[in-house]
Amino acid sequence: MIPGVHEHERSTGDGFHEEVHRALGARGWLFPSWPTEEGGAGLDPVRRRILALELERYRVPHVTLSTTALVWAAVARFAEPALAAELKPGVAAGGVRFCLGYSDPEGGSDIAATYLRAVREGEDWILNGAKMFTTGAHNCQYTFLVTRTDASAPKHKGLTMFLVPLALPGVEIQAIRTYGGERTNAVYYTDVRVPDRYRLGEVNEGWGVLRGPLDAEHGAGRETDGLSDVCQGRVFLWEFERALEATIGWARRSVRPDGTPVADDPAFLDRLGRQIVELEAAVVTPGPMGRIKGSLTLIEGVAELVDLVGPEALLAYSADGAPAAGELDFAHRWAQGTATYGGTIEVFKNIVAQHVLGLPRATYPGSKALVR
The pLDDT tens digits for 181-238 are 899 999 999 999 999 999 999 999 999 999 888 776 655 555 566 666 666 788 899 9
State the virtual CA torsion across 59, 65, 66, 68 in degrees, nearest 10.
170
Question: How large is the average pLDDT for residues 29-40?
Answer: 97
Are 5-93 and 227-356 the same fold in CATH? no
Question: How large is the average pLDDT for residues 242-258?
Answer: 93
Residues 5-93, CATH architecture: Orthogonal Bundle (1.10)
Q: Which secondary structure element, helix H or strand E, spans residue 309, and what is its range?
A: helix 287-309
Which CATH superfamily includes the segment(s) 227-356?
A: Butyryl-CoA Dehydrogenase, subunit A, domain 3 (1.20.140.10)
Question: What pLDDT, on a 0 to 100 scale, did the predictor assign at position 287?
Answer: 82
Please, which residues bridge with residue 130 across strands? 188
Q: How far apart are CA 220 and CA 223, in angstroms?
A: 9
> Mean of the per-residue pLDDT values for the chain?
90
Among 80, 205, 217, 304, the one annotated catalytic: 217
Tell me the domain boundaries of the chain.
5-93, 98-204, 227-356
Q: What is the pLDDT of residues 88-118, one digit of tens each?
A: 999 999 999 999 999 999 876 778 889 999 9
Share of the chain above pLDDT 90, in %: 69
Count of CA atoms in the C-beta half-sphere (13 A) of 37:
0
Q: Is 217 in the active site?
A: yes
With a threshold of 0.95, does the pTM exceed it? no
State the virtual CA torsion across 257, 258, 264, 266 in degrees, nearest 10.
-90
Q: Which class is 98-204 in CATH?
A: mainly beta
